[in-house]
């Protein structure tokens, strides 16, 4: 329940003081034994808590969803297994799933677009799409207009330059790349908006599971680039959404 709705219900005598106190006790967080659900996060940060599904059992994930659903929250889960989604779908028929990036979504209410402009997600190659789609779906779920430009890496730079006008129309750009990870520097030199670089673990042995791309991005000589962790599409999408909503 939203805090404003709770206060309004109490003011209008729809609930008594004991019922209001009981709901307020659960508002900051709810202890399930294996998880403390931060129901207060949306009030503080503007977004509800997101479920990182990897490492959690199906029962734990379903238990967290149940409590968040009761509060009327829109629910986003990352790194969700297909078999977990199928169990959840049998309980919540409004559950959606993207197999490419393993994103789980349950919408309790419509998502309002509050972004000030467009977020663009750009990849070096097709192999980077699973991480890029995590960026895309996260930013969309958080209420933004999001576009995609895929497979425009530095090995064929003309593909990227052909889209320069589109790049320059964005308010925030997220660049997802593996191998040597040079693409964010190139994009950063073409635009006057923040660029969020996401190194991926795509590459051969000397890529060190994304470490070489991470170091390249951290050492970029282009201005206005920030870097998130390896394969962290969710973190990049979340940050892009925050930037896009700034006045």
The pLDDT of residue 31 is 64
CA 238 – CA 45 distance, rounded (Å): 11
What does pTM read for this prediction? 0.86
Task: Give the whole-angstrom CA distance, residue 172 versus residue 225.
Answer: 11
- The stretch 115-142 carries a mean pLDDT of 96
Do residues 191 and 119 lie in contact, with contact meaning Cβ atoms separated by under 8 Å? no
- Per DSSP, 92 falls in state -
Q: In whole angstroms, give the CA distance from residue 217 to residue 106.
A: 34
Q: What per-residue confidence (pLDDT) applies to 26?
A: 60
In terms of DSSP H, where are the helices of the chain? 3-11, 17-26, 41-45, 58-70, 82-89, 129-141, 157-161, 164-168, 183-188, 211-218, 233-244
Q: Which of 113, 199, 186 lies closest to 156, judged by CA?
A: 186
pLDDT above 70: residue 225: yes
Tell me what pLDDT residue 117 has: 95
pLDDT digits (tens, 9 = 90+) for 63-79: 999 988 888 888 999 99
Q: What are phi and psi of 70, to 5 degrees?
A: -60, -30
DSSP for 201-239, written as a single string:
S-S-GGGGGGHHHHHHHHT--SSSEEE--TT-HHHHHHH
- Asked whether 179 and 213 are in contact (CB, 8 A), the reply is yes
State the residue for tokens 């663009």.
Answer: 120
User: What is the share, in percent, of the chain residues with pLDDT greater than 90?
Assistant: 70
Alpha-carbon distance values, 154 to 62, 120, 157 (Å): 42, 18, 5
- Using pLDDT thresholds of 50, 70 and 90, give the confidence band for residue 24: low
200: helix, strand or coil? coil
Residue 15 has pLDDT above 70, yes or no: yes
Distance, in Å, from the CA atom of 161 to the CA atom of 193, rounded to the nearest integer, reads 17
Confidence of residue 58 (pLDDT cuts 50, 70, 90): very high
**Bridge partner residues of 149 (DSSP):** 122
Q: Is the pLDDT of residue 120 over 60?
A: yes
Above 80 in pLDDT, residue 95? Answer: yes
What pLDDT score was predicted for residue 9?
80
Residue 158 has what pLDDT? Answer: 94
Residue 88 pLDDT: 95
Integer Cα distance of 63 and 182 in angstroms: 42
Residue in 53, 159, 147 with CA at minimum distance from that of residue 106:
53
CA angle 33, 41, 76 (to 5 degrees): 80
- At 86 the pLDDT is 95
Return the half-sphere exposure (C-beta side, CA atoms, 13 A cut-off) of residue 86: 4
Residues 138-177: tens digit of each pLDDT: 999 999 999 999 999 999 999 999 999 999 999 999 999 9
């Amino acid at each position: 329940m939203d805090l404003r709705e709770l206060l309004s219900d109490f003011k209008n005598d729809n609930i008594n003081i004991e019922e209001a106190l009981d709901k307020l006790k659960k508002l900051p967080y709810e202890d399930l034994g294996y998880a403390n659900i931060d129901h207060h996060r949306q009030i503080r940060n503007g977004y509800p808590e997101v479920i990182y599904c990897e490492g959690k059992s199906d029962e734990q994930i379903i238990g967290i969803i149940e409590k968040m659903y009761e509060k009327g929250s829109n629910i986003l889960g990352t790194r969700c297994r297909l078999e977990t989604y199928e169990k959840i779908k049998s309980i919540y028929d409004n559950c959606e799933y993207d197999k490419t990036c393993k994103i789980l979504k349950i919408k309790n209410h419509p998502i309002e677009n509050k972004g000030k402009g467009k977020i663009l997600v750009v990849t070096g190659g097709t192999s980077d799409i699973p991480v890029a789609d995590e960026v895309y779906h996260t930013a969309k779920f958080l209420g933004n207009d999001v576009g995609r430009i895929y497979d425009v890496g530095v090995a064929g730079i003309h593909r990227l330059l052909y889209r320069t006008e589109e790049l320059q129309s964005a308010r925030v750009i997220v660049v997802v790349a593996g191998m040597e990870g040079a693409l964010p520097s190139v994009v950063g030199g073409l635009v006057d908006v923040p660029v969020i670089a996401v190194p991926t673990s795509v590459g051969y042995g000397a890529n060190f599971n994304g470490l070489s791309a991470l170091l390249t991005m951290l050492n970029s000589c282009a201005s206005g680039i920030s870097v998130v962790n390896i394969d962290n599409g969710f973190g990049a999408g979340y940050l892009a959404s925050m930037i896009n909503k700034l006045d």
